[in-house]
Amino acid sequence: MSGEHTSAPVAARVRRLEERLIEAGVVAQEQLDASLAAMLKGASPVNGARIAARAWTDEGFRERLLTDANAALPEVGLSMAGGIQEQRLKVVENTATTHHVLVCTLCSCYPVGLLGPSPSWYKSEAYRSRVVREPRAVLAEFGLVLPDDTAITVWDSSAESRYMVLPRRPAGTAGYSEPELAALVTREGLIGTAAV
């Protein structure tokens, strides 16, 4: 990916819309700030990293997470209920032979509560249009070259579910504690555009 994508034009358009709504008395700046702050409170890839580290160290949690992620999240003090309504979460697990990567081709659906605000490239037309068509090439551009026999699934979150990738546990981490493992997990690893 070029890395040149900018969200500035969209940001400017959103700001103009906000100003119109404020001028018209529909909403106050303070209300906008408060609702944004509430939505983003605690939203960080640290959450996704903690989930991955727990799954790597607790086989029972891993199974519950892959079977019914919404039911498993409270075990690590998290939930998908931070927005207007609880969202369904599906966690997909990378293995030695399978790789998963996330996209929203229609817009920018993303598990904000678990991964924080999405990176600008995730919302770019280039990523959204190309990753469903040639994921192997797109991942290679991100620096992730997968073996030819790895089965790739691209998850296009086009409805109400949100997705998160459970990356493969890095080699050589047998003696690591859960917090030490969590510190290794990156946002890109949880999207599926990088290994951990």
| Binding positions for another protein, rule: CB under 8 A | 88, 90, 105-106, 132-136, 151-161
137: closest CA among 149, 146, 125, 128?
146
**CB of 57 or CB of 105, closer to another protein:** 105
Q: Which residue type is seen at 186?
A: T
Least separation in angstroms between CB 135 and another protein: 5
- Whether 98 and 135 have beta carbons less than 8 Å apart is answered as no
* Catalytic site positions: 104, 107-109
In DSSP notation, 120-189 reads GGGGSHHHHHHTTT-HHHHHHHTT----TT-EEEEEE--SS-EEEEEPPPPTT-TT--HHHHHTT--HHH
Least separation in angstroms between CB 177 and another protein: 34
**CB of 161 or CB of 186, closer to another protein:** 161
**CB of 7 or CB of 161, closer to another protein:** 161
Least separation in angstroms between CB 110 and another protein: 14
